[in-house]
């Protein structure tokens, strides 16, 4: 399946059915926004009214990771493709640190969701949201971090690093899907199949590659890349919610303690039966959490 015969909205009914949601085809469209770096950001705009939330995915993912959450929320929102991910342009400098992407993300939010009150970021998207609010403090009225803090390190994220640093090409779609299933034991095969179709593409020779900039996304020293973002947590002046996956090793009790030391009023919610990608494991539960927080 190449881009010419890829209908990115054709699977939304399957998302709804698997989650037990009533389905009416939503108003959703893809748009592109110019950015200060010169590398356009692509995004999905859900609904016709002004967006109330902005959703930012994790590393090696894309905006479609939020599809079931968006369907369950039923609110107007924007889901961004981070630079170098999904349908967004790859950065010429191949730099996908949160601090490097912050100005581009802020420009996309200003253009597509200037009145959105809630910024939601998962994993790399959460750290990018932190970095963005540190330099653009008026961009949102609330921040939700989905299973991430600046305390992430190589040990906590070992499985993620191993997956992202995998082969650059695959002989077939089935080979790519098989590896994805092996690294995501909490997800159904059907949901992972949809995710791979959104996140990979075939080449003329029949091989498959990821859409994201894999060479630019090598994670390297996580503590060196992300540790200084604790200061961004301290600087927050908006309500903060951390949704933590009960089965995930990425956020531990020490991280929660540090988060609360720096933001004593922060709310922490543990989501049962969810690993790191809460939006994939428990999308309806996460949607309910976001709906309450955004109200």
Query: Which CATH number goes with the domain that contains 118?
Result: 3.40.50.1820
Q: In sequence order, what are the residues at sequence separation of 6 or more whose Cβ sits closer than 8 angstroms to the Cβ of residue 49? A: 76
Total count of domains within the chain = 1
- Residue of 57, 87, 198, 276 with catalytic role: 276
Q: Is 276 a catalytic residue?
A: yes
pTM > 0.85: yes
Answer whether residue 206 is part of any domain.
Answer: no
Annotated active-site residue 147? The verdict is: yes
Residues 6+ apart with CB under 8 A from 148: 58, 121, 122, 123, 124, 126, 127, 250, 251
Question: Which of 78-82, 225-229, 238-242, 290-294 is predicted with the least confidence, judged by mean pLDDT?
Answer: 225-229
138 — pLDDT class (breaks 50, 70, 90): very high
What the block records as the tokens of 22 is 């009533």
Look at the block and give the residue holding tokens 């994939």. Answer: 280
Q: How confident is the model at residue 154 (pLDDT cuts 50, 70, 90)?
A: confident
Q: Give me the catalytic one of 37, 88, 123, 248.
A: 123
On whether the CB atoms of residues 218 and 227 are closer than 8 A, the answer is no
Please state, in angstroms and as integers, the Cα–Cα distance from residue 105 to each residue in 35, 88, 182, following that order. Answer: 8, 11, 32
Contact 33/112 with Cβ under 8 angstroms? yes
| Residue at 143 is within a domain | yes
Give a yes or no: residue 208 inside a domain: no
Give the structural domain span for 64. 3-152+224-294
53-56/77-80 β-pairing: parallel
Catalytic residue among 67, 81, 147, 255: 147
Q: Confidence band (pLDDT; 50, 70, 90) for 230?
A: very high
**CA-CA-CA-CA torsion sign (6, 96, 31, 60):** positive
Q: Sorting pLDDT into bands at 50, 70 and 90, what band is 245?
A: very high
175 domain-assigned: no
What pLDDT sits at residue 239? 98
pLDDT at 222 over 80: no
Nearest to 220 by CA among 124, 126, 148: 124
Question: Going by C-beta distance under 8 Å and a sequence separation of 6 or more, which residues neighbour residue 244?
Answer: 147, 251, 256, 268, 269, 270, 271
The mean predicted confidence, pLDDT, of the chain is 94
Residue 234 appears among annotated catalytic residues: no
Say what the pLDDT of residue 186 is: 86
Q: How high is the pLDDT of residue 204?
A: 95
Judging by DSSP bridges, how do beta strands 142-146 and 77-80 pair with one another?
unpaired
Query: Per the domain annotation, does 234 fall within a domain?
Result: yes
> Of 106, 111, 144, 113, which Cα lies nearest the Cα of 126?
144
Q: Is residue 40 part of a domain?
A: yes
Flag whether 113 is in a domain: yes
Residue 193: predicted pLDDT: 96
45-79 pLDDT per residue, tens? 999 999 999 999 999 999 999 999 999 999 999 99
């Amino acid at each position: 399946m190449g881009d010419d015969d890829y209908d990115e909205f054709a699977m939304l009914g399957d998302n709804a059915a698997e989650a037990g949601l009533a389905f009416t085809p939503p108003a959703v469209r893809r748009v592109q926004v110019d950015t200060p770096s010169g590398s356009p950001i692509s995004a999905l705009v859900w609904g016709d009214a002004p967006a109330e939330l902005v959703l930012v995915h994790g590393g090696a993912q894309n905006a479609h990771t939020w599809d079931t959450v968006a369907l369950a929320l039923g609110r107007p929102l924007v889901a961004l493709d981070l630079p170098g991910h999904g349908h967004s342009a790859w950065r010429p400098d191949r730099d996908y640190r949160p601090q490097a992407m912050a100005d581009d993300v802020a420009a996309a939010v200003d253009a597509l969701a200037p009145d959105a009150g809630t910024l939601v970021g998962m994993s790399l998207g959460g750290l990018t949201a932190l970095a963005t609010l540190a330099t653009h403090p008026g961009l949102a009225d609330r921040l939700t971090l989905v299973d991430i803090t600046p305390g992430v390190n190589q040990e906590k994220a070992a499985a993620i690093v191993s997956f992202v640093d995998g082969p650059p090409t695959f002989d077939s779609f089935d080979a790519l899907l098989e590896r994805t299933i092996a690294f995501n034991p909490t997800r159904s095969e059907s949901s992972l199949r949809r995710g791979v179709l959104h996140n990979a593409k075939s080449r003329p020779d029949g091989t498959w590659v990821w859409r994201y900039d894999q060479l630019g996304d090598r994670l390297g020293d996580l503590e060196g890349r992300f540790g200084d973002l604790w200061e961004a947590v301290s600087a927050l002046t908006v309500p903060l919610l951390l949704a933590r996956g009960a089965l995930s090793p990425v956020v531990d009790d020490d991280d929660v303690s540090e988060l609360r030391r720096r933001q004593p009023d922060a709310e922490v919610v543990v989501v049962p039966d969810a690993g790191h990608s809460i939006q994939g494991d428990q999308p309806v539960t996460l949607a309910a959490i976001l709906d309450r927080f955004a109200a």
